[in-house]
Amino acid sequence: MIPVNDIQGLKVLITGASSGIGAAAARAFSRSGAEVTIHYNKRREEAESLAAALREEGGTAHVVSGDVTRAEDAEDIVARSVAMMGGLDCLVNNAGAILRSPSADFDEAIYDQVFDLNTRSILRMVRYSGPALKASDRASVINLGSIAGRNGGAPGSGLYAAAKAAVHSLTRALAREMAADGVRVNAIAPGVIETPFHDETPESALNAALAAIPLARLGTAEDCAWSFVFLASPTMAGYITGQILDINGGQLMP
């Protein structure tokens, strides 16, 4: 049997990769032989530490900073990443955050923040990554959706859920539009994953989610990490595009 080794030398940029799912994805890619650029906005120490750890393991890792909600920063993030790696094969749009606010108490500023980070940033990153991805013969984009984008989210997370539903729809639209250039576009939709993302989630909400999960545990970042590698692999996922991969322990079975 021929082993799947087509991640070797893959040039990967992961946004929001200093912790949580993004950091776990960076480790999985690096351990599969990919060259990884770890993007961060505020957590420089964590990003640098992760890159150093990957290098100690024999990997090639770079670090780049910037705010993906700013067009000029997004362009610079891509330009520096492409320069450091000498190209780009896989863009992972992982950066995101939740701002809780009751939908009935609609707030213009919170709306802009939530959609700008979770949805519009993807369009920025894809736009600036386009030329490098088109030049690759194994190009893909992997977006981070959410179970919230499937079920509307928990109380107070309606705007976040709507933004992630938009990510799912945008993923399908991009898959159709970029197919002619040989770029596959997919998304991963995690359920409740134990990462810093949920540091401020009420324990009662986490317990309620746990009670609804058939596998009877919350997810970990590592539960998601290798699915990024799978979707980036031309051998394993070369005929997969426009798909939303749910990773939620069975909490939601669409």
The catalytic residues are 160
In whole angstroms, give the CA distance from residue 26 to residue 14.
7
Q: At 166, which amino acid appears?
A: A
User: Are the C-beta atoms of residues 193 and 221 closer than 8 Å to each other?
Assistant: yes
User: Are the C-beta atoms of residues 62 and 52 closer than 8 Å to each other?
Assistant: no
How far apart, in Å, are the Cα atoms of 199 and each of 7, 98, 195, 196? Answer: 33, 11, 7, 5
3 state DSSP class of 157: coil
In whole angstroms, give the CA distance from residue 171 to residue 168.
5
In whole angstroms, give the CA distance from residue 240 to residue 238.
6
